Structure 1
Amino acid sequence: MMKKALEITPNLEPLFGTRDENLRLMEDALHVRIDLTSDAVQVEGQLDAINRVERIFADFEHLRRGGVNLHNGELHSMLKLVIADPTITLRSVAESGKQRSAGTKRMVQPRSLNQRYYCEAIEQNDMVFGIGPAGTGKTYLAVAMAAAALMAKKVSRIVLVRPAVEAGERLGFLPGSLQEKVDPYLRPLYDALYDLLEPERVDKMLERNVIEVAPLAFMRGRTLNDAFIIMDEAQNTTSEQMKMFLTRLGNNAKAVITGDVTQIDLPNPKKSGLVEAMSILEGVDGIRFVRFEDGDVVRHHLVQRIIRAYDGFGREQRELPLSLSEEAIMRSSAKPQ
C-alpha cells in the first residue's frame, strides 16, 4: 500500500461529482482510499491504482483547459468506462466522443463498455446488429452515428426504417393517409433526430429526402447507395422482410439493425427475421453483432430493475412444467359433463 498527495485547484472540483460520487466510484472500483484536504487529494492504495486516479485527474484538467466542460451525468458514465477498461483514458473517451458528434448539437458519449463496442463496431463495419433490451441506447447511438456521418459528408443521406407491426393495435383504424398511419411507429426515430440536430435543419433534410423515414414495406426493390441505413425494431420483421432489407445495401452504404428479441409482436415469435439472422449471419466477415444487457440501460434507474424482474419472471415460467391455470383447465375438461 502506498499514499500519494495530488494537488488540486478549484477547477478540478467538478470532477468530484455530486456529493463526491465520482470519488466514491473510484474508491470502490479501484480499491483505493481518497481523502480531501484543503489543497490536495490524498490517495492510498496499490501503485497502479494510484497512477490511474492521478491520470484521471490529469486528463480532466487537460480537457478543461481545452474547453471541454463535462456535465456530471456524462462525466460519471465516462468514468465508469475508464475504470472498467484500463486500456482507455478519460481523455481518449472524451476526444473520441467529440469526433463522433461532429456537426451535432450535443456530444454523444457511450455510457457502458457495450455501448463503446457498439460505436466502434459501427465505425469499423458496414453492417452491425445491436441486440438487447429497451433503454440501452441502441437506436439513439445509431442515429447519432448516422447524423455525424452525414455532417462529415461520409454519406449523402440517412434512411431510417421500421416495420409497422402493431403491438395490440390496428393500423387500419387510424385516421389519415398510409404515411400518417405509420408515422406514430417511426416517432422514436424522429425524436432522436430532433434531439441531435437543429429542428429547422432536420425539417429541411426531411423535405429534400436527405433524411428519409419510412416503413420497411417501402424498401422492396430499392438499392441504397451512399447511405447510412438504420432499421429499428428488427425483431418484428419476418424472415422474408429481413432478407429483403439486408440485400438493399449498395455502394458506400452502412447498415445498423437494432432489436429486442424479448419484445416480438409477430403472431408467431419463432418466425422473427432478427432471431433467424442471428443464427445465419454470426461469423460472416464484415458483419458484427453487439449484445446489450440490462446493465447498459441508460434510462431511469428503475428500468434496469424492471427488466431484471421480467427476465426473472420469464425464467420461472419456463421452468414450471405446467402453470396453475393450465392445470385447472385440464382438470375441468377431464370432468364428465
Structure 2
Amino acid sequence: MAKKSKSDSKSAKKIFVLDTSVILYDHNALNNFQEHDVAIPIQVLEELDNFKSGNDTRNFEARSFIRLIDKTSKEKLISDWISMGASGSGKFKVILNEKPLKVDAEQIYGKGKTDHKILNAALSLREENPDKKVVLVSKDICLRLKAKALDLFAEDYETGKIKNVDELYAGKTELLNFDINIVDQLKHDKVIEVHDNTLSLKTGNHFYILKNKRKSANVFYNHQLKTFSSVSTDAIFRIKPKNIEQAFAIHALLDPDISLVSIQGNAGTGKTLLAIASALEQRKNFRQIFVTRPIVSLSNKDIGFLPGDAKSKTDPFMAPIWDNLRFIKEQFIGDDKMSGKIDELISSEKIAIAPLAFIRGRTLTKIFFIVDEAQNLTPHEVKTIISRAGENTKIVFTGDIYQIDTPYLDAESNGLSYLIENARNHPLYAHITLQKGERSELANLANALL
C-alpha cells in the first residue's frame, strides 16, 4: 500500500496505523494512503519528540512530521478524526493509551515496551472498527511479525520502494550484429550523430558495446544530442580502467554534459576510487571537491557517545575515503611536484572529506560532490542532496545496494536504488553498474562464494 500511483477505489476504506520507523523514513507518509484513514499511536509522537533535536536526517523527518500534524490539525483535537484536507483523502487521528479488550499485546509480549503499546493501539482500533480493515504499517520486520502473530494485518511502507530490484537499470547494453558502418566510423570519429528511430536505443543516456563479428566499439549514447561518443580506456590521474565498465564510469564522470552520476557495484569494483580520480582530473573546473558519506553508527548509537572532538569521532567512518586518496597519491611516488600538489589540495580544503551531516543546509555551487555509501540514504535524503546543487556542480552517488547498514532500509527502499530507477531517462543523468571486482582475486572469492 502507500503508493500514490495506485488507488483501489473499489475496496473498502481501511485504517492504517503508522509506527515511528515509517515517519523517520518519510515525514509525508501521512498523505500517501489515498482515501484511507491513518492513525498515529501517541507513543510514536513521544518517540519523535526524542528525535526532534539534531542535524541528522531522522531529526529533520521528526521535526517535519510534527509541524505537518500541527498544521493539519489547526484548532481541532487530534484525538478525534480530522480530515487531511485534500479532495478524496482520508482522515487521521492520534490514538491515546487505549488497551484492547480481547487481545493484549503487552500481556503476551511483555509490558513497558513501546512496540507492544503500538500493537495495542492497532488492536484497539480494530475492536472499535469491526467493519474496517486495520493494517499496521512498519519498516520494522520484527514488529510486523509480532503483529501477524496476533492476527493483525501488517505490511511494509511501500512508497519509494523499487520492484524487481534484480532487474534494476544497469546502464549498459551489448548489441550484436550492429551496423558495421557505424562501428567502423567510430574508429575514426570520436563523436557521430545517430538516429534512434532506426536503432533500438534506450530513451535516456546509455552505454553500449556495439559488436559485429570481430569488430566492436564501446560508446556512450547521449539521448538529448542524439550522438554516439567513443569511450576511451586511457588513464585518468594515473588510474587506468581495468575493464570496460570502469571505462564507462570514467566517461560519465568526465562528461561535462552529465551533472548527475550514479555508480553501483559490489565492494572492490572501484566505485569510490574512480570517482575521486575523476574529480582530481577535473580539479581546475570546480571550486572544490567534496567527498562525503553518511555515518551509520554501530549498535544504533549516536557518535556522540564516542570520546574526543567532532573530527576524532568521525575520522574512523571516513577512513575508506582517505585510503582511496592515499592510493591515488601512491601512483605519483617519485613525482614530488604532484605529491605536493595533492597535499596542498587537502591542506587548503580544495578537496574536503567530511560526514554528510556536516554539509546540511549548504548550497553546492561549482563543486564536484561525491556521496559514497549512498545505499545507506533514504530516497528523501538523496532528493535533498540533489536539491542543494547550485550552478556548475556535479553530483556523484556511489554504493552497493546489497550492502546496507541503515536500519529499516533494504535493496528495494534505499535512496540509491530509488535514484537509479527514477532518474534513468533524465538528460543530465548517467548510470553504470560495475560487476567485476578489481581489488584482488581473494576479494573476488568472497563476493563469489561466501
TM-score by length of 1: 0.58
Structure-2 separation of matches of 1:234 and 1:259: 5
Partner of 1:174: 306
Which secondary structure state, in structure 2, belongs to the residue aligned with residue 141 of structure 1?
helix
Cα-to-partner distance string for 1:261-293 (whole Å, 9 max, x where unaligned): 111011112442212222222212211111111
Q: What displacement does 1:157 show?
A: 1.4
Structure-2 separation of matches of 1:177 and 1:218: 14
**1:146 matched to 2:279:** yes
Partner of 1:185: 317
Structure-1 separation of matches of 2:438 and 2:288: 28
Q: What displacement does 1:238 show?
A: 2.0
Partner of 2:377: 237
Q: Which of 131, 135, 159 is the equivalent residue of 2:290?
A: 159
**Higher share of residues assigned helix:** 1
**1:288 matched to 2:288:** no
**C-alpha spacing 1:85/1:251, structure 2 compared with 1 (3 Å):** farther
Does 1 or 2 have the higher relative contact order (CA < 8 Å, sep 6+)? 1
Partner of 1:45: none
Q: Is the 8 A contact 1:219 1:245 kept in 2?
A: no
Segments of 5+ residues of structure 2 without an aligned counterpart are 1-213, 219-229, 330-337
**1:279 matched to 2:421:** yes
Cα-to-partner distance string for 1:7-46 (whole Å, 9 max, x where unaligned): xxxxxxxxxxxxxxxxxxxxxxxxxxxxxxxxxxxxxxxx
Q: Is the 8 A contact 2:231 2:248 kept in 1?
A: no
AA aligned to 1:189 is I
Structure-2 separation of matches of 1:215 and 1:231: 10
Partner of 1:131: 264
Q: Is the 8 A contact 2:273 2:324 kept in 1?
A: yes
Partner of 2:217: 87
TM-score by length of 2: 0.44
**1:112 matched to 2:112:** no
**1:122 matched to 2:263:** no
Partner of 2:327: 195
Cα-to-partner distance string for 1:84-122 (whole Å, 9 max, x where unaligned): 97437xxxx998524x32xxxxx1111011111111111
Q: Is the 8 A contact 2:231 2:251 kept in 1?
A: no
Q: What displacement does 1:241 show?
A: 1.7
Q: Is the 8 A contact 1:129 1:290 kept in 2?
A: yes
**1:91-102 matched pairs, under 5 angstroms:** 97-98=234-235, 100-101=236-237
Structure-1 separation of matches of 2:234 and 2:299: 39
Q: Is the 8 A contact 2:231 2:247 kept in 1?
A: no
Superposition RMSD in Å: 3.1
Q: Is the 8 A contact 1:219 1:248 kept in 2?
A: no
Structure-1 separation of matches of 2:407 and 2:420: 20
Q: What displacement does 1:203 show?
A: 3.9
AA aligned to 2:414 is S
Q: Is the 8 A contact 1:225 1:252 kept in 2?
A: yes
AA aligned to 1:187 is A
Tell me the number of residue pairs that the alignment of Structure 1 and Structure 2 aligns. 219
Structure-2 separation of matches of 1:204 and 1:119: 24
AA aligned to 1:134 is A
**1:255 matched to 2:395:** yes
Structure-2 separation of matches of 1:233 and 1:298: 18
AA aligned to 2:369 is I
Q: What displacement does 1:167 show?
A: 4.7
Which secondary structure state, in structure 2, belongs to the residue aligned with residue 285 of structure 1?
coil
After TM superposition, the structure 1 stretch with the greater mean CA deviation from structure 2, 154-163 or 197-206, is 197-206
Partner of 2:404: 264
| Same amino acid, percent of matched pairs | 32
Which secondary structure state, in structure 1, belongs to the residue aligned with residue 285 of structure 2?
coil
Partner of 2:148: none
Q: What displacement does 1:169 show?
A: 6.9
Q: Is the 8 A contact 2:232 2:247 kept in 1?
A: no
Q: What displacement does 1:148 show?
A: 0.9
Partner of 1:211: 351
Q: Which protein has the larger Cα radius of gyration, Structure 1 or Structure 2?
A: 2
Cα-to-partner distance string for 1:193-240 (whole Å, 9 max, x where unaligned): 233245644443233221111111122221112221110000111222
Segments of 5+ residues of structure 1 without an aligned counterpart are 1-83, 102-106, 311-337
